[in-house]
Structure 1
Amino acid sequence: MTSATRAGAYLTIDLHAVRANYRTLAAHGGGAECGAVLKADAYGLGMAPVAAALLAEGCRTFFTAHLDEGIRLRALLPFGATIYVMHGAMPGAARDCLAHDLVPVLNDPGQIAEWRALAAETGRRLPAAIQFDTGMARMGLAGADLERLRQDPAWLDGIQPRLVMSHLACADEAQHPLNARQRGRFDAVRALFPGVPGSLANSSGVFLGPAFHHDLLRPGAALYGIHPQPGSVNPLAQAVSLAARVVQLRSIDAGDIVGYGARYVAPGPRRIATIAIGYADGWLRALSGRSYAWVDGVAAPFVGTVSMDSITLDVTGMPEARIAPGQSVDLLCEKQTVDDVAAQAGTIGYEVLTRLGSRFERRYVGGM
């Protein structure tokens, strides 16, 4: 018996779509280089196959969040590809960046001090990206740090700035006034680093126009089809599809209860299908009573509460042969995108993607 036969659900990752999205993003960036953010296991799609696909498409600059992610990615990429670690190194771990040819993003004075000390110890200038907070109060050097740098440029002695960067807080809202304010602050910061490339545009920032592009784009979720500018037509291709198999089919009568908490009471005779996926697989409990599975293009609503390993559907009136045990229903498809599911759950597509679990049979199509 193959694992595909045993599996209760199938997640298909379309690497052709990932590559097409990369080309679309690069084209929007004009002359700016297009990098790729592969943090969180490439947003849940799998770092190794996604990295290989993007490398084949010409990407040479990559970002991870954590140092361990960067170490894992370095083993997958050839010499010459640049990997930035956006959180930098935790205290005491700077030497690991150097050992694995990773470029830390320096976000605070402590990281600067440790990278400088390592530079002095090795007797050479060490490459780094320098991040500045321009209005998000999350990562990056604060205003006081910027003033210190203005007064004492020697603060970065021993450090070779390879990139100056910041992060947009509201790029998915094109008209939000904070976008222009952050861009203005970032341009002022860049004036302190003549000749050093700059990077401000995240996935949504790519679509804010040339003033936001600078030298390097940093798309993440957009590579995987998440809508960068809600309220408009998504220019990107969905890179994942998900199907789950029917475990059981039963008939119930009016007044019968379905699921935990007795939150669904049948208003009349119903046909209920139980499918092999639940919140342990990342299919959010918040989707209870709000989402659908699709059977040949027909919506089967979730009824009852999403359980750890199963979801119950109302399939009344649907052909029994099509929804018999072992048959599959679609959860991510043309009828229902990642962004659709996120809206149903009251969250964002990023969370839906990165929660996708490890129990699926994963299928990669369109690799090289």
Structure 2
Amino acid sequence: MSEAKPIIPPTATIKLDSDALVANWRALDRLSGKAKAGAAVKANAYGLGVREVVQRLMAAGCTDFFVANWQEAQEIEDLTAGKAGVSVLNGVREADMPFALQSPAKPVLNSLEQVQRWQSSGKTCDIMINSGMNRLGINVEDLDAIPAAEMSIDIVMSHLASADEDVPQNPTQLEQFKAALAIVPGKRASLANSAGIALGSDYHFDLTRPGLSLYGGIQRPALEEVIRQVAIPQAEIIQVRSLRAGDRLGYNAQYIAAETHKVGILAMGYADGYLRGFSNSGMFMHEDIVLPVLGRVSMDLIAIDLSAAPYLAEGDWVACEYDLEIASAQSGLSQYELITGLGNRLAREWT
């Protein structure tokens, strides 16, 4: 019998707050008024771990989940089958049919070709309407070709393109969607994403589909008081060094020390999703002390200024300032990119 291999402790992690995740879903459910909030858990629950997220949200009362493709539906099938609905947003290709026909998940049909492909199955589906985003979905003028009376349609949905802005496109899409519902009725209707929930009750219908705000993203002022941060990357200091005035740091010498001070080198970099946009602009924290990122972020390493915390040493851990609004302003990246881009080398640790 071979000996078990020693466990290798990680040098960087993501602390994930279960209470914050559940509180965010409950807040979005309340803001959805008479509608029920579902949850977009595509892209591995925006990078945080789809099985862990689904289990926690199901325990909180969530019964509708949205994934991108059939591989993602399969990953949570054992958790959701007979207990919650799963909708596959990218629809159903011919190559998907063998799996889709035996799956408890539903395709979101995005074209008349997909409608024709699925119709003879007799199984339940959802329908995506193109209300003006011109990505996926069936155009309103083509809806008469759908044999709705012969199909089992659960959710008729569309997707808001600019819900994070106060622009004419929002009410225009709303009217297009209402027109579509008059032609293709389903058991339920769904339009609002996270930002769309904050647009008000006209956009709620029967079911809302929050995604980003479940995981800490805030796109409209109405969400600022209720959405909590879920993910906090943390990294270990693997070396402390002292810079002298004039010393250059990192690739292309993007930081030059003006005076003698200590820097900490962290075992994390752009391969972990902490991208170069944070060079000379990001921040780490030790308790309430700010530790700025110095120089260029490299693939596996980050340098931080220890001037305000010179007592920190090799083996100490620091937390990344990763409030999605703040981190977006620091890096120039969207909140979506920040949360979905966190790399697999970062161990996920749920609290």
TM range (shorter): over 0.9
Counterpart of 2:75 in 1: which secondary structure? Answer: helix
Deviation of 1:44 after TM superposition, in Å, equals: 1.1
Determine whether 1:139 maps to 2:136: yes
- 1:163 and 2:163 matched: no
SS of the aligned residue for 2:130 comes to: coil
Instruction: Answer yes or no: is 1:248 the counterpart of 2:245.
Output: no
Cα 1:10–1:2 change in 2 (3 A) is farther
2:172 pairs with 1:148: no
* TM-score when normalising by structure 1: 0.89
Cα distance in structure 1, aligned partners of 2:326 and 2:62: 29
Q: Distance in 1 between matches of 2:56 and 2:146?
A: 41
Residue 56 of structure 2 corresponds to: 53
* Displacement after TM superposition at 1:310 (Å): 0.7
**Where does residue 43 of structure 2 map in the other structure?**
40
Map 1:220-235; keep pairs closer than 5 Å. 220-229=211-220, 233-235=224-226
* CA distance in 1: counterparts of 2:159 and 2:196, whole angstroms: 9
Cα offset for 1:205? 0.6
For residues 202-236 of structure 1, give each alpha carbon's deviation from its aligned partner in whole angstroms, at most 9, with x where no partner exists: 01111111100001110111111111315973421
Give yes or no for contact 1:289–1:305 (8 Å, CA) kept in 2.
Answer: yes
CA contact (8 A) 1:275 1:310 kept: yes
Say whether the 8 Å CA contact 1:18–1:224 is kept in structure 2.
yes
What whole-Å deviation, never above 9, does each CA across 1:135-192 have from its counterpart, x for those lacking one?
11111112xxx32333x453x575321111100011112x211111110110111111
Q: How far is the alpha carbon of 1:319 from its aligned partner?
A: 3.0
Distance 1:287 1:153, change over 3 A: closer
**Higher alpha-carbon deviation: 191-200 or 11-20:** 191-200
5 Å-filtered alignment, 1:115-130, equals 115-116=118-119, 118-119=120-121, 125-130=122-127
Match of 1:313 in 2: 304
Partner in structure 1 of residue 343 of structure 2: 357
Aligned to 1:277, the other structure's residue is in SS state coil
**Structure 2 portions without partners, runs of 5+:** none
Q: Write the distance in 1 (CA, Å) between the matches of 2:6 and 2:289.
A: 29
1:91-112 superposed Cα distances (whole Å, 9 cap, x missing partner): 3212311211110001112212
**Aligned AA (2:96):** A
Once the two structures are TM-superposed, the CA of residue 273 in structure 1 deviates from its matched residue by: 1.0
**Which residue in the other structure is 1:122 paired with?**
none
Q: Is the 8 A contact 2:38 2:64 kept in 1?
A: yes
Question: Does the Cα contact within 8 Å between 1:201 and 1:213 map onto a contact in 2?
Answer: yes
Asked if 1 retains the 8 angstrom alpha-carbon contact of 2:143 and 2:184, the reply is no
Matched-pair contact (CA < 8 Å) for 2:198–2:223: no
RMSD: 1.9
Aligned residue number for residue 328 of structure 1: 317
- Correspondent of 1:263 among 254, 262, 265: 254
Cα distance change of structure 1 residues 59 and 316 upon mapping to structure 2, 3 Å threshold: same
Structure 2 distance, partners of 1:178, 1:188, is: 15
Unaligned runs of 5+ in 1: 120-124
SS in 2 for 1:280: helix
Equivalent residue for 1:340?
Answer: 326
Deviations 1:310-358 (A, max 9, x none): 10112124232xx1000011104xxx51221122111221111111112
- Cα distance in 1 for residues equivalent to 2:151 and 2:186: 15
Which residue is 1:293 aligned to?
284
Alpha-carbon distance in structure 2 between the residues aligned to 1:355 and 1:148: 37
Counterpart of 2:113 (choices 104, 110, 114) is 110
What are the superposed Cα offsets for residues 237-270 of structure 1, whole Å, 9 maximum, x if unpaired?
1112221110111111122110011222222222
Match of 2:204?
213
What is the distance in 1 between the residues matched to 2:215 and 2:126? 25
Q: String of CA shifts for 1:289-312, please: whole Å, max 9, x gaps.
A: 111111221211111110111101
Offset from partner CA, 1:4-42 (integer Å, 9 cap, x none): x73211211111111111111111111112111110111
CA contact (8 A) 1:11 1:243 kept: yes
Amino acid across the alignment from 1:197: R
Residue-pair matches, total: 347
Query: Contact 2:128–2:157 at 8 Å: present in 1 too?
Result: yes
Deviates most, 159-168 or 353-362: 353-362
**TM-score normalised according to structure 2 size:** 0.93
Does the aligned pair in 1 maintain the 2:280–2:293 contact within 8 Å? yes
Q: Which stretch shifts more, 209-218 or 232-241? A: 232-241
Q: Report SS of the residue matched to 2:198.
A: helix
Are 1:227 and 1:234, in contact at CA under 8 Å, matched by a contact in 2?
no
